[in-house]
Amino acid sequence: MSELKLTGGIKFFYGLGAAPYGIKDNGFSYFLLIFYSQVLGLSPVLTSLALSIAIIVDAITDPLIGYVSDNWRSKWGRRHPFMYLSILPICAAYALMWNPPDMVMQSQTSMFVFLVVMTVSIRIFLTFFEVPNTALISELTTDYDQRTGLMGLRFMFGWLGGIGMAFLGYSVFFQAADGGNGILQVEGYGRYGIAAACLMFVGMLASSLGTHKTIPHLHSPPEKDLMSPRQVIREVLDVMRNNNFMALFMASLFFGTASGFTAALSIYFSTFFWGLVPSQLAIITILQAVAAVCAVPIARALSERFDKRRVALGSFIFILCWGPLLLISRLLEILPENGDPMLFPMILAHNFTNLIMVIVFGIMFGSMMADVVEDSAVDTSRRNEGIIFAARGFAGKMVSGLGIMLAGAVLSLINLPRSAKPEDVDPDVLIDLVLFAAPLEAVLYISAFAMMRRYRISRTKHGRNVEAVASL
């Protein structure tokens, strides 16, 4: 692996690779549950079950794809062949999921089977792109702070991709012609899905082409015998024996589930609990984009001044304390009533500050995971970026999997009426939504915090690890 000059163009296209994932993740996290359950009429339990089945498939395929990516040898390196081959299947499946054929709509069973097939397909093909694309970070640079900067760009583009697509949804696709709430009407979702698939195609192709010139400088794996299931399992288990990896992996499972649970219910809280309309939600997405841009330099400055672990834990504590503040204030009747002109600015300010710290935490977390590559290689004498980032990707998919399943279960427990207008929902049902959601979310976040505390790679230890594995 020859020395690579990390130019601004390479940084840009590496970061851009996260935008398609952000688009997909935003759709899965915010709109998929309400589209299939509240708009199309599929049971929330079946919708959530379809997504949990996809997670089970991920548990098998993600580490396998990561392993293959780590050990692939070709003239295009070990990452780019998978990135190129996955682009068209991902986009086709994503567009189709939001445009189910008429024959699928005939029964609950056919809708359920269709959703299972679509979510499994999207997840598998996305893994073929996301894992190799993300894993490039550990080969592009070994510098402790440069990795934070690269991960910051990646998070910024990921958030901008998702937020940008959400803004188009709220401001264009979910604007109902009859003046009603377009989020609860079927018409806009098909066009939303096609537009999202097109933007994903552009982002994935641009990132693949933009980082293509780095291939000669990337790590080339040693030749191996034909891959066997025993060998794959052994190498995956070797990585899992690393304490720092397991600390981050377990934390990401809890944090991803909590984030997915929160995201899946956020549109229900916005629509039914706070009484917001699509035009107001579009304004929120604009402010979220500003937060994503602001979070990157904040994260870089904090990581240079403090250890990554300290920054991550500090931002996590802020999220735990600040995140549920508005809901608690409403239950205590401190906040203005819905429709009061003061309420929306308060929601904007809370959302903006909370999101900055969420993104700072995410940047630190991703950069810490990149540092695990060398820490694991010290023990195994192998570079396993693919396996490590496949595990991170799997945990990230919990955002739109187990979290949505729990959200569907909560919606079933509180008996939120399907196709109901916000003004027709019993206030006691909305109070039950808070009382079920808030404690569960807190338990998941606290569990993630406890796992994070077990991470022990400092700046000094990372430097020693890089020197130890320089010859691999």
pLDDT in tens, 268-295: 888 888 888 878 888 888 888 899 889 9
**Which tokens is 410 given?**
């909560």
DSSP 8-state class, residue 181: B
| pLDDT at residue number 196 | 95
Closest CA to 401 of 48, 134, 160: 48
Q: What is the pLDDT of residues 408-467, one digit of tens each?
A: 788 888 887 766 677 777 888 888 888 888 888 889 889 989 999 999 998 889 889 888
| Domain presence at residue 440 | yes
Cα separation, 104 vs 33, in Å, equals: 17
Contacts of 428 (CB under 8 A, 6+ apart): none
Angle between helices 44-71 and 229-240 (to 10 degrees): 100
Mean residue pLDDT of the chain comes to 85
pLDDT tens digits along 207-239:
999 999 988 887 776 665 555 667 777 777 888
Tell which residue, 233, 265, 369, has the closest CA to residue 312. Answer: 369
Quote the CA–CA distance of 381 and 230 in Å, as a whole number: 18
Using DSSP, state whether 175 is helix, strand or coil.
strand
C-alpha–C-alpha distance, residues 185 and 176, integer Å? 8
Give the mean model confidence (pLDDT) for residues 251-279.
Answer: 83
| 81 occurs within a structural domain | yes
Q: Measuring CA to CA, which residue among 411, 407, 416 is closest to residue 444?
A: 407
Please work out, in degrees rounded to the nearest 5, the angle formed at the alpha carbon of residue 452 by the alpha carbons of 451 and 457.
125
Between 394 and 132, whose confidence is greater? 132
- Which of 77-86, 92-101, 162-171 is predicted most confidently? 92-101
Domain-embedded: residue 9 = no
Q: How many other C-beta atoms are found inside a 10 Å radius of the C-beta of residue 92?
A: 15
Residue 48: per-residue pLDDT:
78
Residues 269 and 262: their CA atoms lie apart, in Å, by 10
CATH code, domain with 109 = 1.20.1250.20
Which residues form the domain of 35?
A: 15-468
pLDDT at 268: 82
Which amino acid appears at position 222 of this protein? P
What pLDDT band is residue 6 in, cutting at 50, 70 and 90?
A: confident
φ, ψ of residue 430 in degrees (nearest 5):
-70, -35
- State the burial class of residue 409 (Cβ atoms within 10 Å of its Cβ: 0-12, 13-18, 19+): middle
pLDDT tens per residue across span 366-389: 889 889 888 988 888 877 777 787
Q: Is residue 41 part of a domain?
A: yes
Predicted local confidence at residue 187, as pLDDT: 81
Q: What is the CA radius of gyration of the chain?
A: 22
Is 2 inside any structural domain? Answer: no
Whole-model pTM: value is: 0.74
- Answer for the pair 113, 101: CB distance below 8 angstroms, yes or no: no
Helices (H) and strands (E) in the chain, counts: 19, 0
Query: What is the pLDDT, as a whole number, of residue 23?
Result: 93
What is the per-residue pLDDT for 180? Answer: 64
Q: What average pLDDT does the segment 124-145 reach?
A: 86
One-character DSSP codes across 377-394:
HHHHSS--HHHHHHHHHH
- Asked if the structure places residue 384 within a domain, the reply is yes
| Side-chain half-sphere CA neighbours of 121 within 13 A | 17
Burial class (CB in 10 A: 0-12, 13-18, 19+), 377: buried
pLDDT, tens digit (0-9, with 9 covering 90-100), for 34-79: 888 888 888 878 887 887 787 777 767 777 788 888 778 778 888 8
Residue pair 289/427 in contact (Cβ under 8 Å)? The answer is no
- Closest C-alpha to 116, from 40, 48, 20: 48
Residues forming beta bridges with residue 181, ordered by sequence position = 175
pLDDT at 400: 55
| Residue 4, domain member (yes or no) | no
How many other CB atoms sit within 10 Å of the CB of residue 421? 12
Quickly state the pLDDT bin for 328 (edges 50, 70, 90). confident
Cβ pair 168, 192 in contact under 8 A: yes
Give the per-residue pLDDT at 450.
92
- What tokens appear for 322 in the block? 């600040």
Sequence-separated (6 or more) residues with CB below 8 Å from residue 441: 258, 261, 262, 323, 324
Q: Residue 399: what pLDDT?
A: 58
Rounded to 10°, the helix 427-452/402-414 angle is 150
Which pair of tokens denotes residue 325?
A: 């503040």
Cα–Cα distances (Å) from 234 to 322, 343, 387, 467, in that order, read 42, 55, 12, 26
pLDDT band at 161 (very low <50, low <70, confident <90, very high): very high
pLDDT given at position 396: 63
> Is pLDDT of 347 > 90?
yes
Look at the chain and report how many structural domains it folds into. Answer: 1
| Residue 264 pLDDT | 76
Task: For tokens 């440069």, name the residue.
Answer: 146
- pLDDT higher for 261 or 226? 261
Measured CA distances, 380 to 134, 238, 240, 383 (Å): 21, 7, 11, 8
Residue 1 lies in a domain: no
pLDDT score, position 397: 63
Crossing angle (nearest 10°) for helices 427-452 and 308-322: 160
